[in-house]
A and B are shown apart, each in its own frame.
Chain A
């Protein structure tokens, strides 16, 4: 790179370096100043950015700015610098960019940021040392990297830029609307401080779109109304509404007069995963991205979309919110009427502010979005990588209202922030984001000058520390170094999140954080990177760096936490420090939580806008909460829109400030506390299902989801997504309770006992007895199936459970078919399934299936899942009724017998039946050697075995040695000892049903055969014969 290799001339260095550092600094909030310095610098600098005590740096800074421009110019003469800035801001230098574009690992972005931060700090330190060859080398490297980067970037058409200075392009990269940027440029000042406040204020196109969707996203608007609205608008203004004709969402674009028609509709195609304009190959994860893209690139449109002037020039989220509140009325309100003319001088923001940003977006898109991604790609990578640049992390965390409200509660109205901003930088240094605004060069220069004092001040401190302790920063990072920076992903992410200034506030959290950090930090401490890392530390450290010895630094952990401290301190420039802290803590918290919680994060940057609470009564917890939400939004930004939506809804469901949250929380706790309000398990499950369906309906119609779900999820997926969300926010918390309840119900009504017994019975049957005539799973397969069923028990989502059931069925089919090569229908499958379920011997399957049957989305009940669920349910109910079924068969044969018997009685001459003819009685004679015979009528039910009857007789006849006795049937002059497992009543029934009446007796006597039988025959005359 030609640009100022920093050849070693002392003079050139300062000039160039500032700009460069500026880049770097911007990028790296975490890198620190010493906390001591911080406050002081803020104090000195903040009041009015008045000229500071320090040496006059103004000229230098100006030069810097120019320099910077030059450097930028080198590569492509275009927006490249912006890109660089961008990269720096969001991702990191080249490698970072590649990351984003290619791999897009979120952490790496953050990470590289951090490393850059370190670097920048280091750089600063070095700079102070001046003329160190290594330093120049470093600069050199960086410059060349930037150049390369530029070349890598796709060029977009510059015409958009119209007359904007090259320098301004750079601004567009970041969201610059005021002089913040220029202040950043001032190298000498404490760059971080000024950079932060300048950045905090910027809004990207995506941001603007997100905040103002109530204005342009008018799904219920008719064509006519859309025409009406747009007709009074300048060309380029657009609306998204739903066309009744096409039954689709359309983008209605106001055309210039020369086009003839006032407007044109572009249909929006919704696939399962993406949104795109009809005829375009570029798809987007959601509507916001789509619109944002078309704000900068026309693709299939005649020209790019334009945001209404008021929206594109709004300076704060608050302003956007206010506009958004107008909703459709915005279009007819005075708010919309601002002429898109040169912006007021004090606001660098110009009407074309949008353009640069868009251009830049476009640029990014040029690299990325040209490719339409398949759903599978979408799953694991982000859809529109390019637009992901607008990372909510940086937009949200530093939302104006928050800062304003909190930081300076008394002094300023949050709404007024926009105007006052210059004076009071926001506490949190937001990394740069794409922004639509650019700074006017002049202004920035001025600003730079103003900020000078701080810088100087700061520098001094830093330098002192550095000089004192750190002799020479070691070898300048070269290209590969950058790779290593990137590798430090985790590390950097941590750093970012770890920006918790005051550990004392939340010791627990801090601890947690540090624990988290440890492993990574050790990585970070690897030799290669050590030197740069050290430098920042020294600069930033509150304790004099001099005391620190090199070895100490190896504890990466320490370093990290230090860094975070420094960051925070830099943040808190002129504000009450505790405020940002809280916010920060929340962030950390949530981000950690997110990391742990979502193991399956996917990379996707979604613009979920955290629901803005009315800021009026800002209480701390609320703040924390909202911060938390914002932060989690950031992390959720790495997920698919679907996951994000589910997550968002789940979050909403925990938020009792929303109607939806109340609804869900109240219901959940009601169920948990009122165990008696359901009559049966089915009743319980059905009410839950009903509740879920109702809540789904509510959600799809309410406006509590902001932005509306339609803008993020393609229409045919909305219900699916809502259903998943319901599972997460209703079934998940209720799972344990429901399981207990179901179990209780089944214990109470005895159905589990019955099932248990029957399972036992069925398991004893061989497959053929169950009607199985196909190969059955062997022991190993059954074990596999059991494992699947056990996994199923752990799921709360009925759909996931069903998936496992399907796997079980698939396995069964495989077994059946593999061995026979034929297709089996239900005639064969159902018996096998019954057999398998019995073999698994899991009582819990009963409740599992019930759970699925009742809670599964009814629309899925007709599909494959529903089919096999029905089959499993059927199989289980067959098992439950197995005994009865058997009994029914027996009984029916018995009934037949009885009927036949009755018929015979009527036809043959019979005496009136005696009592033992009745089904449940049996007349048994007892023959004892000495006492002769006595007879008793015993209560013997049909299924009582001979063994049981013997036992009964032993009692009744008071036999002392029952093992000596047994039950005999005396019929046709012969004695038959009855086997233990025969049924006397059945035998009796059989005898009765013979065509010829037989004389028979049941005799309880000694087993040893003896002559008394004859005696018995003679003596026992009173056994009735029917």
Chain B
């Protein structure tokens, strides 16, 4: 029987970029009717297998409005990973994303796994943020990056799988399948430390 690890994942990003849509898609799309439902979409959980562990994501949504910005530290405190979402059709949201990254680097938990999600990739014809920009930026900060569409269920699963693989295994001696793991282009993560 595999051990279950609970991983707190915090969702950051401007209001309206589709943070909760991503989570809803991720949590609800996939059959598992056994999962105990949470009372609302602000906090959701989903368990996925990863190597010889089970990762139970405890996903904390945050309010993106600026007036709630000051509350963010309470939400990302203790997170194993942060998903920072921007809207590829809104340049502003990408700016906000950079602010979040900066804040996490400064005040966030050490070794937090950062994943950047460019949401609404189904609307690429009105895109304002080129994928290239996002990739370069992500590379520069050692984060995962993926363009997603919560609407069309594109790359949602992959986003969380990527995070899973970036989470250092509990037992440092059993990194058998973890060593081989690389998420797309993001192999730069150096946070493979035993927590």
- Chain A residues in the interface with B (C-beta under 8 A): 771, 806, 809-810, 813, 817, 823-827, 829-831, 861-864, 867-868, 870-871, 873-874, 877-878, 885
Contact = CB atoms under 8 A, between A and B. Distances in A.
Contacts of A825: 19-21, 23-24, 41-42, 61
A651 to B, nearest CB: 33
Given A771-B67, A831-B63, A878-B68, A826 B42 contact: yes
Residue among A810, A823, A827, A868 with the highest chain B CB neighbour number at 10 A:
A827
Interface string B54-75: 0000101111110110010011
B38 interface: yes
Given A813-B39, A825-B61, A878-B71, A862 B78 contact: yes
Given A825-B24, A825-B61, A861-B78, 6 more contacts: A806-B39, A810-B39, A827-B64, A830-B63, A862-B78, A867-B60
Contacts of B178: none
B74 A873 contact: yes
A829 B65 CA distance: 12
Interchain residue pairs A-B with the least CB separation, the first 7: A825-B20, A826-B61, A867-B43, A874-B71, A823-B41, A813-B40, A830-B63
A864 B45 CA distance: 9
21 contacts: A810-B40, A813-B39, A823-B20, A824-B41, A825-B19, A825-B21, A826-B20, A827-B63, A829-B40, A829-B41, A830-B63, A831-B65, A863-B6, A863-B58, A864-B58, A867-B60, A871-B42, A874-B68, A874-B71, A874-B74, A878-B68
A824 B42 CA distance: 7
B39 A809 contact: yes
A864 B63 contact: no
A100 B80 CA distance: 51
Contact of A867 (B24, B42, B67, B68): B42
Nearest to A853: B74
Contacts of B21: 825
B39 A827 contact: no
A827 B19 contact: yes
Contact of B6 (A862, A870, A873): A862
Contacts of B19: 825-827
A827 B71 contact: no
Given A813-B39, A864-B38, A871-B42, A827 B74 contact: no
Contacts of A817: 40
Contact of A827 (B16, B24, B78): B16
A344 to B, nearest CB: 51
Nearest to A824: B41
B43 A868 contact: yes
Contacts of A861: 78
A878 B67 contact: yes
B165 interface: no
Interface string B1-23: 00000101001000110011101
B61 to A, nearest CB: 4
Contacts, number: 84
A865 to B, nearest CB: 9
B26 to A, nearest CB: 12
A877 B70 CA distance: 10
A985 B11 CA distance: 43
Nearest to B80: A862
Contacts of B42: 824-826, 829-830, 867-868, 871
Contact of B75 (A771, A810, A829, A870): A870
Interface in B71-116: 71, 74-75, 78
Nearest to B78: A862
B67 A864 contact: no
A299 B64 CA distance: 60
A806 B37 CA distance: 13
A227 B8 CA distance: 44
B20 A827 contact: yes
A809 B40 CA distance: 8
Nearest to A871: B42
B27 to A, nearest CB: 10
Nearest to A875: B71
Nearest to B17: A827
Nearest to A806: B39
Contact of A823 (B24, B68, B78): B24
B67 A862 contact: no
B71 A877 contact: yes
A272 to B, nearest CB: 13
Contacts of A813: 39-40
Nearest to B8: A862
A814 to B, nearest CB: 9
Contacts of B67: 771, 878, 885
Nearest to A825: B20
B74 A870 contact: yes
Given A809-B39, A810-B39, A874-B74, A830 B68 contact: yes
B20 A864 contact: no
Contacts of A873: 74
Nearest to B74: A870
A274 B63 CA distance: 42
A885 B66 CA distance: 12
A873 B68 CA distance: 12
A849 to B, nearest CB: 12
B40 A824 contact: yes
A863 B57 CA distance: 10
B144 to A, nearest CB: 21
A906 B58 CA distance: 56
A885 B71 CA distance: 14
Given A861-B78, A873-B74, A874-B74, A827 B40 contact: no
B81 to A, nearest CB: 12
A874 B60 CA distance: 14
B40 A771 contact: no
Contacts of B74: 870, 873-874
Nearest to B6: A862
Nearest to A812: B40
B39 A864 contact: yes
A864 B41 CA distance: 11
B65 to A, nearest CB: 6
Nearest to A861: B78
Residue among A825, A830, A874 with the highest chain B CB neighbour number at 10 A:
A825
Contact of B65 (A810, A827, A877): A827
Nearest to A874: B71
A823 B61 CA distance: 12
Residue among A817, A867, A877 with the highest chain B CB neighbour number at 10 A:
A867
Contacts of A810: 39-40
A105 to B, nearest CB: 32
Contacts of A878: 67-68, 71
Contacts of A826: 11, 19-20, 42, 61-64
Residue among B6, B43, B58, B65 with the highest chain A CB neighbour number at 10 A:
B43
A599 B75 CA distance: 39
B147 to A, nearest CB: 20
Nearest to B58: A862
Contact of B43 (A771, A827, A831, A864): A864
Nearest to A885: B67
A817 B133 CA distance: 37
Contacts of B16: 827
Residue among B6, B24, B63, B65 with the highest chain A CB neighbour number at 10 A:
B63
A547 to B, nearest CB: 68
Nearest to B14: A827
A874 B62 CA distance: 11
Contacts of A824: 20, 40-42
